[in-house]
Amino acid sequence: MAHIVMRDVQKRFGNVEVIPGASLEIKDNEFVVFVGPSGCGKSTLLRLLAGLEDLTAGAIEIDGERVDHLSPSRRGLAMVFQSYALYPHMTVRENMSYALRVARTPKAEVEAKVREAAEILQLTEYLDRKPKALSGGQRQRVAIGRAIVRDPKVFLFDEPLSNLDAKLRVQMRIEITKLHRRLKATMIYVTHDQIEAMTMADKIVVLNEGRIEQMGAPLDLYNDPDNKFVAGFIGSPAMNFFDGTVTARDDAALTVELSDKTKVVYPCANPGQAGVGDAVTLGVRPENFHFDGGDEPAIKGEVYAVERLGGETYLYLQSTAGHETVVHAVGDHEVAVGDQVAVNFNPARNHLFDPQGRTIR
């Protein structure tokens, strides 16, 4: 239960600016995911919040209280690490109770809390085992249990699922979301996997090179990315990008000529964001292509790979302008490698980015 504010937080290691300045607010009971490519500063941001690193400048508040001078344990938060960081020489019970024992909590209370957390996580029968004797998923649950036992205001997760296999990952994703509903605590979750971000978050914070690119609800980010980076990062398979040049502009639209000479009229509210002659990028999500023909613009190319998944089909085209293009089609689509195809798209449902990569809206 906590309301977190990070105000112009900065972090330098020596001369390296890891976080040049980030501000964000996290509401009580929110599930927030920090996502971004490796090295984007998402883990550093989490560690600053946890108190494992000292701020270079800025402020962090939890429930209106400055905490950036407090040691990690006094900030009322718990953290689940990528490697789980279970103490190898302690049993599950000892691992889960360690924080409470350090804090000299009465024995009976420690026992009760460990029992409760173990029950929630179905670990009761493993309490006397050492971490070595547990499976990956069980270790992960112990790590979460260790956090739960402390009744923290904030849960921090640092890429907690990246060491699990695909199937377990899906399962743990659901378990963590369930846990969030049950505990009603603020949770901050760091991952480089945008699928985790999309499926778990109330709010996603996309980071790149230490900067916050965009914050918002998952589908808002998906449907209305602020810039090319977010557009490309969120969504799988990733958005297709086509280079083009603005050839004409009026009050409500920009006309763009793609490198294969295809003309696209892109309706927008602020066409003034780009001028005639500007190099822009058109973004089309794979599922926004269709084969209906008509007078909508088309990307033409040769199919070089087809993935048939039964319910859906992915086509990989080499467009005539040389762009590798992914097309998503519902159902089984009759097409073979080597076929020449044309796929249409509706310009209004796509995105155009100005030379600086900002979305033209």
Q: Which residues pair with 205 in a beta bridge?
A: 34, 215
Structure tokens at 117: 């957390």
Site map 31..60 versus other proteins, x via CB under 8 A = ----------------x--xxx-xx---x-
Q: Which stretch binds other proteins (CB under 8 A): 31-39, 74-82, 202-210, 348-356?
A: 74-82
What is the distance between the alpha carbons of residues 202 and 194, in angstroms, rounded to a whole number?
13
Q: Which of 312, 305, 306 is nearest to 328 (CA)?
A: 312
What residues are paired with 212 via a beta bridge?
Answer: 207
Total of chain residues touching other proteins, rule CB under 8 A:
32
Secondary-structure breakdown of the chain: helix, strand, coil percentages, each rounded to the nearest 5 = 30, 35, 35
The nearer residue to other proteins, 57 or 269, going by C-beta atoms, is 57
Binding of other proteins at residue 246 (CB under 8 A)?
no
Closest CB 47 distance from other proteins, rounded Å: 8
Neighbour count for residue 130 (Cβ, 10 Å): 16
Strands (E), 27-116: 31-35, 57-62, 65-66, 77-80
Shortest Å distance, C-beta 131 to other proteins:
11
Residue in 8, 12, 23, 65 binding other proteins, rule: CB under 8 A: 65
Q: Interface mask (CB under 8 A) for other proteins, residues 75-94, using x and -?
A: --xxx-xxx-x-xxx-----
The tokens describing 279, both together, are 């190099």
Site residues for other proteins, 130-189, by CB under 8 A, read 146, 150
Start-to-end CA distance of the chain, whole Å, equals 37
Q: Which of 8, 12, 27, 66 binds other proteins (CB under 8 A)?
A: 66
Binding stretches for other proteins (CB under 8 A): 47, 50-52, 54-55, 59, 64-66, 68-69, 71-74, 77-79, 81-83, 85, 87-89, 98-99, 102-103, 146, 150
